[in-house]
């Protein structure tokens, strides 16, 4: 065993945080492996600042689970922090379900480095705590994990992933029995239990034989059968099966199911970006595996230009988000933002439900409060209820659970490239979304149009909505106080007008009040309290102010609107709305 003082190094002599010294020494003295202990000593000798970063605190188990840089330390994602977090989760789930004779859990992972190792450790700890664990035989998309939790009647589930974060990160999403990520009161209660786990000695690791069941193809088939049931126009897909699709999984889990799902739907011309089809946690062909960023879509768009494709989409590493690119009339490709993709999905689904007379008047759709109002307009005009929820897809899942058996859920989404069609999954689902996007491309072809044309049609009918975002970073303790002061100032002295337009409504999600400044009416906002403010202007513009819960920043979301006279006016109107957003930023002193 390596001890303090080996390599002539005494951690207590280092100029680092006392908490880092205590935590690092506890690992040196504890039942941790020799490779880990040597890494601690090497950091102490050669990189004390890294030792400080790695040990100055315990990696926080947030309301969605874990996420952090991989490495040795209490503030890093590694086999030990994963095991201790899982023990806390196991303890809480058992406490809530203490009358159940057999507790169940499902575990999956993405393509990131160490994801399989972390998933196996998670399964082992759960099994050692008496759970029956269903562990996937390899990487699978997040939506399939959500589905598996429900399918196997599990009490909890874990998806090992850092979503679209850089390659240095890994993470861990925790799910409840409804297949949705943890919501109140379970989210904060699990955190409390995780905080009680002080060392590896508190973790059970000896799993009984047979407690872990490996699952794979059999659940893939069931999941894909549900995806296929989302199809609204089988005849159109059959007729236009050769619509030219370009897809990239960005080295992630999407490769396991999305091409297969498209084929089973009936599409035959699927062109995969082969360089990005190999699962690889280093994401070697892109600076970021985030389909929200242009760089991630670059290779897919290049292939689309080469083969003259009809539609392009990309999924992130755990295949819950999807980015889309469409061809303009001039032959150039345009990347859609999340609001645009969501609007087209809502428009098509609503239109098909209307034409097929499927609406009974008891249907609903859901979006988040920072999402464009265009999807809400589409639903409302069709007589479909639309619910706003707080930012975070787990709140969409919670709304479905709240209304289960009372109203019929159709679809939901958020501006950050996440969409859900049907309720068999309770999280973002790039598998279903990609299939529906492909179906829309086929339907557009049937109309003699392109996907781009469908978007323009929506803007002509409902108005041209455009969105923007500004993140203001304020670091340190003083920065955090400055952000809170900004929110206090907006509440105590809200703007009477923004960029020359009167503010006609203010929604304060912390006081749960919506104030109509024209009539003076005050309505209650029936959502959990959250430090968010929204200002609505007389011409339909919306400005949302929201401090980040995990980063030292405050975000300003902008949504503006204009009429679109004709298809040829798209570029001019788009530019005018960009100018409008910039003008609003200036009026709020954000540039």
CATH architecture of 464-587: 2-Layer Sandwich (3.30)
Residue 549 in contact with residue 535, Cβ under 8 Å? no
Q: What is the CA radius of gyration of the chain?
A: 25
The reply to whether 223-462 shares the fold of 59-215 is yes
CA distance 546 to 105: 34
Strands of 333-335's sheet in order across:
270-272, 245-248, 311-315, 322-327, 333-335
Q: Please name the residues in contact with 290: beta carbons below 8 A apart, sequence gap of 6 or more.
A: 164, 296, 316, 321
**What is the per-residue pLDDT across 518-558, written as a single tens digit (0 to 9) for each?**
999 999 999 999 999 999 999 999 999 999 766 678 999 99
- Alpha-carbon separation of residue 272 from 220, 237, 257, 282, 314 (angstroms): 20, 19, 13, 19, 10
Q: What is the pLDDT of residue 65?
A: 85
> What are 465's two structure tokens?
């909505």
pLDDT above 50: residue 327: yes
- Nearest 5°: CA angle at 434, between 567 and 179? 130
CATH number of 223-462: 3.40.640.10, 3.20.20.80, 3.40.120.10, 1.10.3210.50? 3.40.120.10
Residues annotated as part of the active site: 163
Q: Please name the residues in contact with 487: beta carbons below 8 A apart, sequence gap of 6 or more.
A: 531, 533, 545, 547, 554
Q: What is the pLDDT of residue 476?
A: 73
Q: What is the pLDDT of residue 548?
A: 79
CA distance 442 to 437: 9
> Which DSSP state fits 281?
T
Least confident of 233-237, 512-516, 547-551: 547-551
Domain edges within the chain: 1-57, 59-215, 223-462, 464-587
**Mean pLDDT value across the chain:** 94
CA distance 580 to 586: 10
What b-and-e string marks burial along 119-152, b requiring 16 or more CB atoms within 10 Å of the CB?
bbbbbbbbbbbebbbbbbeebbbbbbbbbbbbbb
**What is the per-residue pLDDT across 164-201, written as a single tens digit (0 to 9) for each?**
889 999 999 999 999 999 998 998 899 899 989 988 99
CATH architecture of 59-215: 3-Layer(aba) Sandwich (3.40)
> What are 455's two structure tokens?
């978007």
Instruction: Give the pairing of strands 169-176 and 131-136.
Output: unpaired
Alpha helical stretches, state H, 404-561: 430-446, 451-462, 476-492
Q: What is the pLDDT of residue 28?
A: 94
**What is the per-residue pLDDT across 98-143, written as a single tens digit (0 to 9) for each?**
887 899 999 999 999 999 999 999 999 999 999 999 999 999 999 9
Q: How confident is the model at residue 1 (pLDDT cuts 50, 70, 90)?
A: very low
């Amino acid at each position: 065993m390596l001890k303090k003082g080996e390599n002539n190094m005494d951690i207590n002599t280092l100029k680092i945080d006392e908490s880092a010294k205590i935590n690092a020494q506890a690992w040196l003295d504890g039942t941790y492996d020799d490779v880990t202990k040597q890494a601690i000593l090497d950091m102490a000798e050669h990189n004390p600042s890294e030792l400080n970063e790695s040990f100055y605190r315990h990696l926080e188990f947030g309301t969605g689970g874990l996420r952090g840089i991989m490495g040795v330390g209490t503030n890093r994602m590694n086999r030990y922090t994963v095991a201790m977090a899982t023990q806390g989760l196991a303890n809480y789930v058992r406490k809530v379900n203490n009358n159940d004779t057999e507790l169940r859990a499902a575990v999956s992972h993405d393509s990131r480095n160490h994801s399989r190792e972390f998933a196996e450790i998670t399964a082992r700890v759960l099994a050692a705590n008496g759970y029956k664990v269903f562990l996937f035989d390899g990487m699978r998309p997040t939506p399939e994990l959500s589905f598996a939790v429900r399918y196997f009647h599990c009490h909890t589930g874990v998806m090992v992933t850092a979503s679209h974060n850089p390659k240095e990160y890994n993470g861990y999403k925790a799910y409840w029995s409804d297949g949705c990520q943890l919501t109140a009161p379970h989210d904060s209660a699990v955190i409390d239990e995780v905080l009680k786990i002080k060392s590896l000695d508190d973790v059970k690791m000896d799993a009984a034989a047979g407690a872990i069941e490996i699952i794979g193809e059999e659940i893939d088939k069931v999941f894909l059968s549900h995806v296929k049931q989302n199809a609204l126009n089988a005849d159109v897909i059959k007729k236009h099966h050769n619509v030219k699709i370009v897809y990239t999984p960005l080295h992630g889990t999407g490769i396991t199911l999305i091409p297969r799902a498209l084929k089973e739907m009936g599409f035959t011309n699927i062109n995969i970006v082969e360089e990005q089809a190999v699962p690889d946690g280093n994401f070697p062909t892109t600076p970021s595996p985030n389909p929200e960023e242009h760089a991630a879509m670059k290779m897919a768009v290049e292939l689309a230009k080469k083969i003259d494709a009809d539609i392009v989409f990309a999924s992130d590493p755990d295949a819950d988000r999807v980015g889309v690119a469409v061809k303009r009339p001039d032959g150039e490709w345009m990347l859609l933002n999340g609001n645009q993709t969501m609007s087209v999905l809502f428009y098509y689904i609503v239109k098909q439900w209307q034409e097929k007379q499927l609406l009974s008047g008891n249907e609903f759709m859901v979006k988040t409060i920072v999402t464009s109002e265009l999807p809400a307009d589409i639903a409302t005009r069709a007589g479909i209820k639309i619910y706003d929820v707080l930012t975070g897809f787990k709140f969409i899942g919670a709304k479905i659970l709240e209304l289960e058996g009372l109203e019929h859920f159709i679809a939901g989404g958020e501006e950050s490239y996440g969409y859900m069609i049907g309720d068999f999954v309770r999280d973002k689902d790039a598998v279903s979304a990609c299939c529906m996007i492909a179906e829309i491309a086929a339907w557009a072809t049937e109309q003699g149009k392109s996907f781009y044309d469908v978007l323009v049609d929506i803007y002509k009918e409902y108005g041209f909505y455009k969105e923007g975002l500004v993140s203001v970073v304020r670091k340190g303790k003083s920065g955090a106080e400055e952000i809170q002061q900004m929110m206090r100032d907006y509440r105590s002295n809200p703007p009477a007008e923004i960029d020359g337009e009167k503010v006609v409504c203010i929604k304060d999600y912390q006081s749960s009040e919506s104030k109509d400044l024209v009539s003076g009416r005050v309505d209650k906002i029936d959502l959990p309290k959250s430090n968010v403010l929204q200002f609505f202007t007389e011409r339909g513009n919306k400005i949302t102010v929201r401090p980040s819960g995990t980063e030292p920043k405050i975000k300003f979301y902008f949504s503006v609107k204009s009429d679109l006279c004709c298809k040829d006016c798209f570029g001019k109107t788009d530019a005018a709305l960009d100018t409008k957003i910039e003008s609003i930023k200036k009026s709020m002193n954000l540039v």
